[in-house]
Chain A
């Protein structure tokens, strides 16, 4: 059943024709410890937003913000319409553009590759928010500091999966150690064609997509959604 459902979605994705330029499988870091990364199998994503909600609940994200969301698009190719899901989150890049711009060194990369913000040091200047090409960061209105996906570092450190992975209905989000040749993420990346978002920027994302359409690997141009929830400041 699992493989059948997967074939169905894979077929739908293929019907949109043309996947994004393949990303090179990650080269294992020289470090001894893990290098966490994520593989998103788009054929398995149904856009249910369970990941979005579980992330909000797990990380106490303010109601007007998200650390991850599944963008949903209608893509018409050669007259054939199809739905495309694209879960977005921090890419925990190998070359994160958010880190060098931080004026106080509040944002940094752990040895395991997870990019985090030290809220005790962050001044809320939002420079990192500007520098992130994936729009993965925002200013938290309750703390007035930079906020972002941490791969649920607190859960990972306790041996658990990130909340979004744990709650993913279709098993689209796969989390694991990119340094471990036997991990699922490494095996999937070795056996299937993967892509990353905006590879031309040289950020070397560590969130890989399987079955990513090329038109969605970059900023999609088209018709915007009619309504986008947004925080509004009162007087």
Chain B
């Protein structure tokens, strides 16, 4: 094997900035949170009231914050209209411009139609906002809730599909070019959403130990599935069962930074699973944070780490997180917006209640 030393070469800096990580993180959390809200709001499962409310707050807040990061990644947010004026339907990214509004429209309609009776019931306690609550509140509209939930479910699946496929189809980056990527994006998104609900259960008033335990059990299952998918990806690459996977593993396995990140990620997931199973009541703070951390780090490693692997040069490109809008400030700003939206929604949304307790409300699907 010849020895090669690069004498003259350049770095191609990363082109998908931390904005992309932030967008994929937030939209994934939104979709996962929406799915987590369904047992209560769509199916009326008893015991899911608080989890449903927390999940809906997460879905709405992340759903509103995510497109901001996406627009920022275009360098000039006004450029977004070209996605609709000149769509190239061969591109997954072009389809995303249609899937995101589909999902978000369905989500907002689903949230409003599901909360109508509770909003109306809450009007008297809202002071000067009472007229607004009377305007938006009303009797339950099960058909609308079901229709909106259906649109949102289809939209959510399409968002999961396009975000995964958009990255997976890039053959130029072996790390991205395996069918495990969309699956892992989806699993870490759902895991992160459960983590967010666990965190909100602690941060927002009205902590419920039973909800925490229920969420922890769900988290353990999702993270377990995520670990299995990761192990399968590694095994196929390691044993050379398929060329693309072997190439994907080979592109990163030689670098210590990737090895350490992979070990740290798997260890964190294992710890979260053990904690969630061993102490489902009381460990929500930690398991929730670990699940969010896993969702973020997976995307960071795929996007920023993946782009630091040169396509045509040995070694790795250096990446240092800039402090400005394309780096730390952008991430902090997005997360600040998310926190603001969560606080706002928590203040405005009616408190969790059993669906039977809401006056004049008929359970969707049972009307």
Q: Are A and B part of the same complex?
A: yes
- Enumerate chain A interface residues (CB-CB to B < 8 A): 16, 47, 49, 66, 69-77, 83, 88, 97, 100-106, 121, 123-127, 129-135, 138-139, 144, 197, 201, 215-216, 219-225, 228-235
Nearest chain A CB to B185 CB, angstrom units: 16
> Does B91 contact A100, Cβ atoms closer than 8 Å?
yes
> Does A219 contact B311, Cβ atoms closer than 8 Å?
yes
* Closest chain A residue, CB of each to CB of B166: A127
> Does A127 contact B93, Cβ atoms closer than 8 Å?
yes
> Does B15 contact A223, Cβ atoms closer than 8 Å?
no
Contact partners of A106 in chain B: CB under 8 A? 86
Q: Answer whether residue B94 sits at the interface, using C-beta atoms and an 8 A cutoff.
A: yes
> Does B6 contact A71, Cβ atoms closer than 8 Å?
yes
> Does A133 contact B16, Cβ atoms closer than 8 Å?
no
Asked whether A121 and B5 contact (CB < 8 A) given A134-B312, A138-B12, the answer is no
| Extra A-B contacts (4), CB below 8 Å, given A101-B93, A104-B88 | A74-B5, A88-B312, A103-B91, A132-B311
- Enumerate chain B interface residues (CB-CB to A < 8 A): 2-13, 15-16, 73-76, 79-80, 82-83, 85-88, 90-94, 96-97, 166, 169-173, 307, 310-318, 320, 322-324, 326-327
Nearest chain B CB to A202 CB, angstrom units: 9
Nearest chain B CB to A92 CB, angstrom units: 16
- Chain A residues touching B, majority SS: loop
> Does A228 contact B312, Cβ atoms closer than 8 Å?
no
A-B contact pairs, 18 of them (CB 8 A): A72-B6, A74-B5, A100-B90, A101-B90, A103-B88, A104-B88, A124-B76, A127-B93, A129-B15, A130-B172, A132-B172, A139-B15, A201-B171, A219-B310, A223-B3, A230-B11, A233-B324, A235-B324
Contact partners of B173 in chain A: CB under 8 A? 130
* Closest chain A residue, CB of each to CB of B326: A233
Choose from A77, A131, A216, A235 the contact partner of B323 (Cβ within 8 Å). A235
Asked whether A144 and B76 contact (CB < 8 A) given A104-B82, A222-B3, A234-B324, the answer is yes
> Does B82 contact A228, Cβ atoms closer than 8 Å?
no
Nearest chain B CB to A216 CB, angstrom units: 8
Contact partners of B170 in chain A: CB under 8 A? 101, 130-131
Nearest chain A CB to B161 CB, angstrom units: 16
- B2, B3, B92: residue with the most chain A Cβ atoms closer than 10 Å: B2
Nearest chain B CB to A173 CB, angstrom units: 17
In angstroms, Cα B9 to Cα A88, docked, is: 10
In angstroms, Cα B299 to Cα A145, docked, is: 24
